[in-house]
Amino acid sequence: MNTKSFLNPNPFARAALLGALLCSPVVASATVLFSDDFNTNSSPRWTVNVAPTANASTQEAAFAFDYSAFGIPAAPGSTDTLGLRLRSNIPGGAASPVTTRPAGVTSGLSVSPTGQDFGTSYHLSFYAWVNFNGAANTNGLVDNGNSEGGTHNVLFAVGTSGTVPLVVGNTGLVVNGVMDGIGFATTGDGGITADYRVYPKSGTISATNSGVYAAGISADANNVPPTGNVNLYYQAIPSLAPHSAPAIQQTLSTAEFADAINTQAGKTQIGAFGFAWHRVDIYKVGAIVKWTIDNTAIATIDTTSLGALGGNNIALGDSDVNSTTTRHPSLLFTVIDNLVVSDVTAPALQASISGTNLNLSWPEASGSGFTLQSATTLASGGTVWNNVTNTVTATSGTLSTSVPVVNSATYFRLKLP
């Protein structure tokens, strides 16, 4: 397992400690295996897979798409507003969308780098924005009884062949859909019962008591399962606070279809993924796969019992959760930006003393999926490591936290998963 540890001895030896820490070996940067900032039409590098096959014309992958027209700011790390836009179940089709809500089909698409094999261990990272529409109500900007057809899935997967459509509906696969790898899915609006889902090489979602969800194995104090966006675990993630659609989208909504209640008013439910840039990381280390959002664990699964996966590629997808279409086709999409696939390298853990605090830091690019742990002794028969629960902040590409200096030896390490 990738770890790095050091000793924090008696605080009276701070000068010696600081010197030792600054002289600790630096771990080499991760090797980039594949990347795409989507600033140019990179479609020749990608394979687009759709399901059902007969509904290919209602799905779209638009490369070098300028998302600024929808009021969306540049993704973190970008100075531009170009990305990959994914749309599914588009009323009237991608070539000529309509706002009359014709009958549709539960459908979607996934895209994968063409012909790639990243091996058995690698790190997928990117930023995702999910746009949606729905009638505003007491629960926020969500799909409800006055449905606008705005609840869609955004899906990320590893261990796929990259040649099949990883497309899910409300719960299971759509017609012609395949799940040959490990899929993770969520919704922008929190519009279905299971908003955070794991698909273990199957169209069947991992059970709430399976132990794969970081939110736990049972319902919270409010009786919300660990897959529900209003579970207390997701409510506590700062970046999943309620968000509003960019202001210009209310104007676009009215121009596209004059709803009595503007579909882009209000805010998202707490714990939902929509209307904000979120960093998504998926680490595959042998049989272990871990999914994080904004440096917070969402799910970890051991694939040992699942047998061989479909391949060593990745996939990104968008799909509808049911057959109804939206009357706002231009406002319903997922955007992906700044995607990188790299090998899994242990990040360098740095430390310094500030007053009575020990400041710990490590690079976000290679360390966002790692958990900081501490131990008071190193035992040959097995060291007891405990997760450090202090708040971790992300600033200028660095993750950091501070812990009090104690009058005893303490060891720290970064562990994945």
Q: What is the pLDDT of residue 387?
A: 87
Phi, psi of 256 (to 5 degrees): -80, -40
For the chain, domain boundaries? 5-29+346-415, 32-342
Return the structure tokens found at 272.
């939902």
pLDDT tens by residue, 63-93: 999 999 999 999 999 999 999 999 999 999 9
- pTM score of the predicted model: 0.85
Q: Give the whole-angstrom CA distance, residue 349 versus residue 27.
A: 9
Burial 205-243 (b: 16+ CB within 10 A, else e): bbebeeebbbbeeebbeeebbbbbbbbbbbbebeebebb
Fold of 5-29+346-415: Immunoglobulin-like (2.60.40)
Maximum CA extent, the chain: 73
Residue among 255, 253, 248, 213 at smallest CA distance from 233: 213
Distances (CA, A) of 222 to 172, 218, 235, 325: 26, 11, 12, 32
Q: With a cut of 70, which residues of the chain have pLDDT below it? A: 1-29, 135-149, 417
Q: Give the whole-angstrom CA distance, residue 309 versus residue 31.
A: 23
Q: What is the pLDDT of residue 28?
A: 45
pLDDT tens by residue, 305-334: 999 999 999 999 999 999 999 989 999 999
Q: What is the pLDDT of residue 266?
A: 81
Homologous superfamily (CATH) of 32-342 is Exo-inulinase; domain 1 (2.60.120.560)
Q: Give the whole-angstrom CA distance, residue 270 versus residue 67.
A: 24
Return the structure tokens found at 126.
């990117």
Q: What is the pLDDT of residue 175?
A: 97
